[in-house]
Amino acid sequence: MVSTVSKQKLYNTRLDLSEDIRAKEIDILNQTLAATLDLKTQTKQAHWNVKGMDFYQLHELFDEMAGELEEYVDMVAERVTALGGVAMGTARLAAANSILSEYNFEAVTGADHVTALANSFGTYAKHVREAIDATEELGDADTADLYTEISRTIDKRLWFLEAHLVG
Protein backbone atom coordinates (compact mmCIF):
# COMPACT_ATOMS: atom_id res chain seq x y z
CA MET A 1 0.00 0.00 0.00
CA VAL A 2 1.22 3.47 -0.87
CA SER A 3 1.08 6.16 1.79
CA THR A 4 -1.17 9.04 0.75
CA VAL A 5 -0.87 11.13 3.87
CA SER A 6 2.36 11.98 5.50
CA LYS A 7 2.48 12.72 9.19
CA GLN A 8 -1.19 13.62 9.36
CA LYS A 9 -2.28 14.98 12.73
CA LEU A 10 -4.42 12.44 14.52
CA TYR A 11 -7.26 13.47 16.77
CA ASN A 12 -7.67 11.87 20.16
CA THR A 13 -10.03 8.94 20.40
CA ARG A 14 -10.93 6.36 22.98
CA LEU A 15 -10.55 3.56 20.44
CA ASP A 16 -8.22 0.89 21.75
CA LEU A 17 -5.95 1.03 18.70
CA SER A 18 -2.51 2.58 19.05
CA GLU A 19 -1.74 5.83 17.25
CA ASP A 20 0.77 3.99 15.06
CA ILE A 21 -1.82 1.44 13.92
CA ARG A 22 -4.43 4.14 13.35
CA ALA A 23 -1.98 6.18 11.26
CA LYS A 24 -1.17 3.15 9.07
CA GLU A 25 -4.85 2.39 8.61
CA ILE A 26 -5.68 5.99 7.80
CA ASP A 27 -3.05 5.91 5.04
CA ILE A 28 -4.61 2.76 3.60
CA LEU A 29 -8.14 4.14 3.91
CA ASN A 30 -7.24 7.47 2.29
CA GLN A 31 -5.66 5.57 -0.62
CA THR A 32 -8.93 3.68 -0.92
CA LEU A 33 -10.90 6.90 -0.69
CA ALA A 34 -8.97 8.35 -3.63
CA ALA A 35 -9.44 5.21 -5.72
CA THR A 36 -13.14 4.90 -4.83
CA LEU A 37 -13.84 8.50 -5.78
CA ASP A 38 -11.95 7.97 -9.04
CA LEU A 39 -13.80 4.72 -9.79
CA LYS A 40 -17.14 6.40 -9.08
CA THR A 41 -16.38 9.22 -11.52
CA GLN A 42 -15.14 6.75 -14.14
CA THR A 43 -18.40 4.85 -13.76
CA LYS A 44 -20.36 8.07 -14.17
CA GLN A 45 -18.24 8.89 -17.24
CA ALA A 46 -19.41 5.61 -18.76
CA HIS A 47 -23.01 6.26 -17.65
CA TRP A 48 -23.10 9.64 -19.36
CA ASN A 49 -21.33 8.67 -22.57
CA VAL A 50 -22.31 5.10 -23.48
CA LYS A 51 -23.89 4.78 -26.95
CA GLY A 52 -25.30 1.92 -29.01
CA MET A 53 -27.99 -0.74 -28.99
CA ASP A 54 -27.39 -1.62 -25.33
CA PHE A 55 -27.40 2.02 -24.23
CA TYR A 56 -30.34 1.92 -21.83
CA GLN A 57 -29.33 -1.29 -20.06
CA LEU A 58 -25.75 -0.10 -19.53
CA HIS A 59 -26.77 3.48 -18.74
CA GLU A 60 -28.90 2.14 -15.86
CA LEU A 61 -26.31 -0.43 -14.73
CA PHE A 62 -23.52 2.15 -14.62
CA ASP A 63 -25.69 4.55 -12.61
CA GLU A 64 -26.52 1.83 -10.08
CA MET A 65 -22.84 0.94 -9.77
CA ALA A 66 -21.87 4.60 -9.23
CA GLY A 67 -24.47 4.83 -6.47
CA GLU A 68 -22.94 1.85 -4.69
CA LEU A 69 -19.51 3.42 -4.96
CA GLU A 70 -20.83 6.67 -3.47
CA GLU A 71 -21.94 4.69 -0.41
CA TYR A 72 -18.43 3.23 -0.11
CA VAL A 73 -16.87 6.68 -0.42
CA ASP A 74 -18.88 7.72 2.62
CA MET A 75 -18.12 4.53 4.58
CA VAL A 76 -14.39 4.78 3.96
CA ALA A 77 -14.23 8.52 4.76
CA GLU A 78 -16.20 8.03 7.96
CA ARG A 79 -13.87 5.20 9.05
CA VAL A 80 -10.90 7.54 8.56
CA THR A 81 -12.49 10.11 10.84
CA ALA A 82 -13.56 7.48 13.38
CA LEU A 83 -9.88 6.50 13.64
CA GLY A 84 -9.00 10.13 14.38
CA GLY A 85 -7.79 11.09 10.92
CA VAL A 86 -8.81 13.52 8.23
CA ALA A 87 -10.57 12.09 5.20
CA MET A 88 -8.64 13.32 2.16
CA GLY A 89 -11.55 13.33 -0.26
CA THR A 90 -11.33 16.28 -2.60
CA ALA A 91 -11.37 15.75 -6.35
CA ARG A 92 -7.81 17.05 -6.63
CA LEU A 93 -6.52 14.64 -4.00
CA ALA A 94 -8.42 11.75 -5.55
CA ALA A 95 -6.90 12.51 -8.95
CA ALA A 96 -3.42 12.84 -7.51
CA ASN A 97 -3.56 9.71 -5.35
CA SER A 98 -5.71 7.22 -7.22
CA ILE A 99 -4.16 3.88 -8.13
CA LEU A 100 -6.41 3.62 -11.19
CA SER A 101 -5.34 4.30 -14.75
CA GLU A 102 -6.96 7.20 -16.57
CA TYR A 103 -10.30 6.37 -18.15
CA ASN A 104 -10.41 5.65 -21.88
CA PHE A 105 -12.05 8.81 -23.21
CA GLU A 106 -12.26 7.31 -26.68
CA ALA A 107 -14.78 4.75 -25.38
CA VAL A 108 -18.11 5.07 -27.19
CA THR A 109 -19.84 1.72 -27.47
CA GLY A 110 -21.11 -0.38 -24.61
CA ALA A 111 -18.26 -2.83 -25.11
CA ASP A 112 -15.72 0.01 -24.96
CA HIS A 113 -17.10 1.31 -21.67
CA VAL A 114 -17.56 -2.15 -20.18
CA THR A 115 -13.93 -2.99 -21.01
CA ALA A 116 -12.65 0.28 -19.53
CA LEU A 117 -14.66 -0.23 -16.35
CA ALA A 118 -13.71 -3.90 -16.06
CA ASN A 119 -10.05 -2.87 -16.12
CA SER A 120 -10.59 -0.28 -13.40
CA PHE A 121 -12.79 -2.53 -11.27
CA GLY A 122 -10.17 -5.27 -11.52
CA THR A 123 -7.42 -2.95 -10.26
CA TYR A 124 -9.69 -1.69 -7.48
CA ALA A 125 -10.68 -5.23 -6.45
CA LYS A 126 -7.02 -6.14 -6.04
CA HIS A 127 -6.42 -3.05 -3.91
CA VAL A 128 -9.39 -3.86 -1.67
CA ARG A 129 -8.19 -7.44 -1.12
CA GLU A 130 -4.73 -6.16 -0.21
CA ALA A 131 -6.37 -3.73 2.22
CA ILE A 132 -8.28 -6.59 3.86
CA ASP A 133 -4.99 -8.38 4.48
CA ALA A 134 -3.18 -5.25 5.66
CA THR A 135 -5.86 -4.20 8.14
CA GLU A 136 -6.21 -7.74 9.46
CA GLU A 137 -2.45 -7.81 10.04
CA LEU A 138 -2.79 -4.55 11.97
CA GLY A 139 -5.37 -6.23 14.21
CA ASP A 140 -8.40 -4.16 13.21
CA ALA A 141 -11.24 -6.53 12.40
CA ASP A 142 -13.67 -3.64 11.96
CA THR A 143 -11.74 -2.02 9.13
CA ALA A 144 -11.01 -5.42 7.57
CA ASP A 145 -14.76 -6.14 7.70
CA LEU A 146 -15.52 -2.84 5.96
CA TYR A 147 -13.12 -3.86 3.20
CA THR A 148 -14.67 -7.33 3.00
CA GLU A 149 -18.10 -5.78 2.46
CA ILE A 150 -16.72 -3.59 -0.32
CA SER A 151 -14.89 -6.55 -1.85
CA ARG A 152 -18.04 -8.66 -2.18
CA THR A 153 -19.84 -5.93 -4.11
CA ILE A 154 -16.86 -5.07 -6.30
CA ASP A 155 -16.32 -8.74 -7.21
CA LYS A 156 -20.00 -9.02 -8.13
CA ARG A 157 -19.86 -5.90 -10.29
CA LEU A 158 -16.68 -7.10 -11.98
CA TRP A 159 -18.50 -10.34 -12.78
CA PHE A 160 -21.41 -8.33 -14.26
CA LEU A 161 -19.01 -6.33 -16.41
CA GLU A 162 -17.00 -9.33 -17.57
CA ALA A 163 -20.20 -11.25 -18.42
CA HIS A 164 -20.94 -8.57 -21.02
CA LEU A 165 -17.60 -9.25 -22.68
CA VAL A 166 -18.08 -13.01 -23.23
CA GLY A 167 -18.79 -14.10 -26.80
Residues 141-166 pLDDT 10s: 999 999 999 999 999 999 999 999 99
pTM reported for the whole predicted model: 0.94
pLDDT > 70? residue 1: no
For residue range 10-65, list pLDDT tens digits in order: 998 898 899 999 999 999 999 999 999 999 999 999 999 999 999 999 999 999 99
Three-class DSSP labels, 58-116: HHHHHHHHHHHHHHHHHHHHHHHHHCCCCCCCCHHHHHHHCCCCCCCCCCCEHHHHHHH
> DSSP state, 37?
H
pLDDT value at residue 9: 85
Question: What's the whole-number average pLDDT of the chain?
Answer: 94
